[in-house]
Structure 1
Amino acid sequence: MPGTLLLDSEGLSKLYRKDRTVVTLVQAASEEGIRVATSAMTTLEADSEGIHPARIKWILSRVDVHDVTKEITDQAAALLRTEHLHGHKYASDAAFAAIARTAPRPVTVLTSDPEDLTLLCGPFVEVVKV
């Protein structure tokens, strides 16, 4: 199994905006057969102001978008309890981390928030700041 590259809101925003580093990482992952993915919640969080809706639709057609299901939110709640975190500040990160923890390994997350996601994702997920 070749693994998964997960984009958080900053990673997805940068992909929308054709950030050279993120585009290169996503292209390389795709060429190597690595799944490029995000969460449905992340598609709402990503800054898409000024981005043509057709570009967003095109990008999302090439990215696996994971639903934030009851099972994911239960896992996220458990992560928050384990790490003694609470509130809306961590809710989306916890749901994203629950998806990262269950994605095909190896898993790499592109994020602007490496501290919280490193804590929530655990040792089996590589967290890379973008």
Structure 2
Amino acid sequence: MENKLKIISIFISIAIITLLFAAGPANAFVLGLTIKDPVVTKGETIEFKISTQIEQEEILDINKFILILNGPEIQNCEFDADANIISGCKGISIEKLSSSNSTLGYGHGYGYGYGYG
């Protein structure tokens, strides 16, 4: 009887571990970086795009982004989600290209017909 319980507990443990690996990591926040031309000569202007994607079910309160460029001179640049510079950013211009209007999660906000508001 003890051996049967041990075997059953081993199978249950293996099943749980397998399910955890199969589920994979959660991606609530995805950050992307695209460089227009990866070959750069000193003194040239570099253009790159930073994108963020927040999954529809998630509500994340992002206060700022921090961009750190390493080189002969370390450059720190802090800016908010609307591309307003908070600090640093010497010689860097930031432009917001697009934004999603779905800032509210499911069932939040107004206009859902609950009989009030």
- TM-score, length-scaled by structure 2: 0.25
- Answer with 1 or 2: which has the greater Rg: 2
Which has the larger helix fraction? 1
- TM-score, length-scaled by structure 1: 0.24
Which has the larger strand fraction? 2
